[in-house]
């Protein structure tokens, strides 16, 4: 049986990136790269970067680790009926690939100096700062300027051979640093979440959400309400670069710093920018993409701090426009109690 296993065992770190772990396995056993391990262990295609949860037992046997040791790695995927694919990061399942970096991921040079392995939190699209060193994560090699591909051979080296541990860093701004702390509090906590950029009660609201819920909240508040994206484009999620992500996070923290007043201002601005007041159903359609995303991902008791003021605004809009709508949560007795 040993002829079908790696000779040298590599011990995974808690919440390590699956791809970073496989890079270390490949180096310890003189494989060309981690894709070669997947081909031998799982008969994986070189064009498919996914590792299914159901394949973990086979991969664990091949790498001489236990299933539990590999199951906690970040980057494992699964297929969920009527929902689609999900990805496990920091022990939680995320529902949108937009929230993840699955082919390229940033790094903290100072973390790699301490221990040269890829942290699972670096897969999170909204994580743009290192909470430990208060610096921005870097997503491109300082030498060749290419994105840091997860297909490279070593965690601490770029494909061009540059030692990423020697990269210069920039100080992180308060808002991205706060979100980084909230996210990595799951793996590295308990962390101090106090920040001057956001009121304590709103920090607590964000920290109480699941990782998937936090990402959906940031996207809803930042993209739909304050982003530089026309509402008429719909609610399709797209990948953001590091600069756009930091801008979105800063916008969300600004919004929450005077909540819900700035929510009402943001919604009113979206309507004013896209159409003149018409007093009929077209007015409500201006909020269509926002409303669809809200109903799909935000409309639950976990998001009460968002849903209560949002639904108050929409009810007032409905009444002001004189729109006759079919019965919905906006007219329910329970909502009356929630908002009273």
The predicted model scores a pTM of 0.86
Question: What's the rounded mean pLDDT across residues 117-127?
Answer: 97
The reported pLDDT for the residue numbered 50 is 82
pLDDT in tens, 54-113: 999 999 999 999 999 999 999 999 999 888 899 999 999 999 999 999 899 999 999 999
Least reliable range by pLDDT among 39-53, 133-147, 178-192: 39-53
Q: What's the chain's Rg over C-alpha atoms?
A: 22
Q: Which two tokens stand for residue 221?
A: 């508040």
CA distance 54 to 103: 21
DSSP label of 146: -
CA distance 30 to 7: 10
Cα four-point dihedral sign 262, 294, 238, 283: negative
State the chain's mean pLDDT as an integer. Answer: 85
The reported pLDDT for the residue numbered 275 is 53
Q: How far is CA 48 from the centre of its chain?
A: 21
Question: What's the rounded mean pLDDT across residues 126-144?
Answer: 97
Question: What's the rounded mean pLDDT across residues 138-154?
Answer: 95
Q: Which two tokens stand for residue 287?
A: 């909020």
CA distance 215 to 171: 23
pLDDT in tens, 23-65: 999 999 999 988 899 999 998 765 566 899 999 999 999 999 9
The reported pLDDT for the residue numbered 279 is 47
The reported pLDDT for the residue numbered 264 is 85
Residue 301 pLDDT class (50, 70, 90 cuts): confident
Does position 227 have pLDDT exceeding 60, yes or no?
Answer: no
Of the candidates 100, 164, 176, the residue with the CA atom closest to the CA atom of residue 134: 176
Residue by residue, DSSP assigns 75-128 as: TEEEEETTTEEEEEETTEEE--GGGB-SSB--B-HHHHHH--S-BGGGGBTT--
Say which residues have a Cβ less than 8 Å from residue 297's Cβ, sequence separation at least 6: 216, 220
pLDDT in tens, 235-292: 455 678 888 899 999 999 999 999 999 988 888 777 766 554 444 454 455 567 788 8
Does position 336 have pLDDT exceeding 70, yes or no?
Answer: no
CA distance 43 to 331: 55
- Is the backbone peptide bond immediately before 190 cis, with ω within 30 degrees of 0? yes
The reported pLDDT for the residue numbered 230 is 43
Least reliable range by pLDDT among 22-26, 79-83, 158-162, 302-306: 79-83
Which of 208-217, 225-234, 321-330 reaches the highest mean pLDDT? 208-217
The reported pLDDT for the residue numbered 171 is 97
CA distance 64 to 74: 18
Contacts by residues 227-231 (CB-CB < 8 Å, ≥ 24 positions apart): 227/251, 230/274, 231/270, 231/273, 231/274, 231/286, 231/287, 231/288, 231/289, 231/290
Residue 331 pLDDT class (50, 70, 90 cuts): very low
The reported pLDDT for the residue numbered 335 is 38
Any bridge partners for residue 173, and if so which?
none
CA distance 286 to 275: 8
CA distance 210 to 144: 37
Other Cβ atoms within 10 Å of 235 Cβ, number: 19
Residue 300 pLDDT class (50, 70, 90 cuts): confident
CA distances from 264 to 80, 157, 259, 268, 301 (A): 36, 48, 9, 6, 20
Residue by residue, DSSP assigns 251-304 as: HHHHHHTTTTHHHHHHHHHHHHHH----SSHHHHHTTHHHHHHIIIII-SGGGH
Does position 158 have pLDDT exceeding 60, yes or no?
Answer: yes
């Amino acid at each position: 049986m040993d002829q079908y296993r790696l000779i040298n065992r590599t011990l995974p770190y808690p919440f390590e990136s699956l791809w970073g772990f496989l890079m270390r396995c490949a180096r310890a056993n003189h494989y060309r790269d981690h894709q070669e391990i997947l081909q031998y262990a799982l008969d994986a295609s070189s064009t498919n970067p996914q590792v299914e949860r159901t394949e973990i037992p086979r991969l664990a046997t091949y790498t001489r680790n236990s299933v539990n040791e590999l199951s906690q790695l970040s980057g494992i995927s699964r297929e969920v009926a009527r929902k689609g694919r999900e990805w496990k990061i920091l022990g939680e399942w995320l529902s949108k690939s937009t929230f993840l970096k699955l082919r390229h991921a940033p790094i903290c040079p100072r973390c790699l100096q301490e221990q040269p392995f890829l942290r699972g939190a670096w897969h999170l699209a909204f994580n743009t700062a290192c909470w430990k060193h208060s610096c921005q994560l870097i997503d491109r090699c300082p030498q060749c300027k290419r994105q840091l591909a997860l297909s490279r051979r070593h965690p601490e080296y770029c494909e061009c051979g540059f030692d990423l541990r020697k990269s210069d860093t920039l100080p992180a701004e308060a808002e991205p640093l706060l979100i980084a702390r909230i996210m990595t509090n799951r793996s590295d906590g308990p962390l101090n979440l106090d920040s001057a950029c956001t009121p304590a009660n709103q920090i607590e609201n964000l920290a109480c959400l699941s990782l998937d819920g936090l990402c959906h909240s940031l996207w809803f508040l930042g993209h739909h309400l304050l982003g530089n994206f026309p509402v008429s484009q719909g609610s399709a999620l797209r990948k953001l670069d590091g600069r756009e992500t930091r801008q979105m996070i800063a916008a969300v923290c600004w919004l929450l710093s005077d909540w819900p007043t700035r929510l009402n201002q943001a919604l009113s601005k979206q309507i004013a920018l896209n159409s003149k007041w018409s007093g009929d159903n077209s007015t409500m359609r201006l909020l269509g993409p926002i409303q669809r995303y809200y109903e799909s991902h935000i409309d639950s008791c976990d998001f009460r701090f968002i849903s209560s003021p949002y639904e108050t605004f929409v009810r007032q809009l409905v009444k002001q426009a004189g729109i006759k709508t079919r019965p919905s949560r906006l007219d329910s007795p329970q909502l009356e109690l929630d908002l009273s």
